[in-house]
Structure 1
Amino acid sequence: MMPTSAEMKAVMTKYASLVSAGDAEAVVALYADNATIEDPVGSPAQSGREAIAKFYQGACASGVKINVLSGPYGSFGNSAAMVAEVLVEVPGLGPSRIELVEVMEFDAQGKISAMRAYWGQEDMKPV
């Protein structure tokens, strides 16, 4: 049985809070073992628990903060989306803001099976 829209939205909200708190281990626990991350979409996908852990350890170590601007929005399927801003220190650019859309797919256990972040270079702006 697939997770409900409310359950998917709750995971996305928890995800944003945990990333902002710098708790990489708890973020990784939200993912299925064989999950993928494509951040940004078009970049090489990170696949599997080890790659996902490395991705979030790096992100959390850099002090990334995620603020949900709109949503999360559920679906009648196994996906949910939200509009967010990511605040991060970008080497050579300094404190930056990236406005993006994150789409997550979920498995039957309510774990994230795929995360895709839609943003491009023009969406990264100095703060």
Structure 2
Amino acid sequence: MMKPADLPIKSMSAVKARDREGWLALFEDNAVVEDPVGGHEMWDKEGTGQQGKEAIGRFYDMFSSSQSAMDFEVHHMAACGNEAACFVTMKFTMNDGTVNENKLINIYKMSPNGKVASLRSFWN
């Protein structure tokens, strides 16, 4: 069975591999993704996050369609109880060749089934 500390690496590795179905399989059916926490003017105006696998899948399609590649470097991770916090730099290569780097903190909450119940991403 997965441990909370496994979730960040499995999640980011699936995105890096452009494995949509593998990424979605990590989530509970009723999971919530807040990326970023507090909402975004283009894809989460209400600030409630992407709720449920269908919405999370649409979110994946939206962000992956503008990127040709993603890589990540984990600076620090801490797992407590059923959650893991990960300080990471994510590097996105956009379809036009530009590269964007974001430092962020992702907090993953694991369900009793060993899947992601919630993913909260803090970045600006």
TM-score of the superposed pair, with normalisation by structure 2: 0.81
> 5+ unaligned residues in a row in structure 2: which ranges?
40-46
- Structure 1 unaligned residues grouped into runs of 5+: 121-127
CA displacement 1:2-38 (0-9 Å, x = unmatched): x7xx711122211111111111111010000000011
User: 1:14: which partner in 2?
Assistant: 10
Native 8 Å contact 1:9 1:74 kept in 2: yes
* Matched length: 115
C-alpha distance in 1, partners of 2:87/2:28? 23
- Alignment RMSD (CA, Å): 2.3
1:63 is paired with a residue whose SS is strand
CA distance in 1, matches of 2:68, 2:58: 15
CA separation in 1, counterparts of 2:73 and 2:109?
18
Partner of 2:90: 86
Rounded to whole Å, the distance in 1 between the matches of 2:18 and 2:113 is 24
User: Displacement, 1:90?
Assistant: 6.0
Q: Per-residue displacement from partner, 1:54-108 (whole Å, max 9, x unpaired)? A: 1112333323524132233210x2210111112224699x321011000011110
Matched, 1:52 2:48: no
- 1:103 corresponds to which of 101, 107, 118: 107
Post-superposition, which runs of at least 4 consecutive aligned residues in structure 1 deviate over 4 A? 89-92
Query: Of the candidates 28, 37, 51, which is equivalent to residue 24 of structure 2?
Result: 28
Report percent identity of matched pairs. 28
Q: Secondary structure at the match of 2:114?
A: coil
- AA aligned to 1:25 is E
- The letter for the 1-side match of 2:75 is S
Which one-letter code corresponds to 2:68 in the other structure?
G
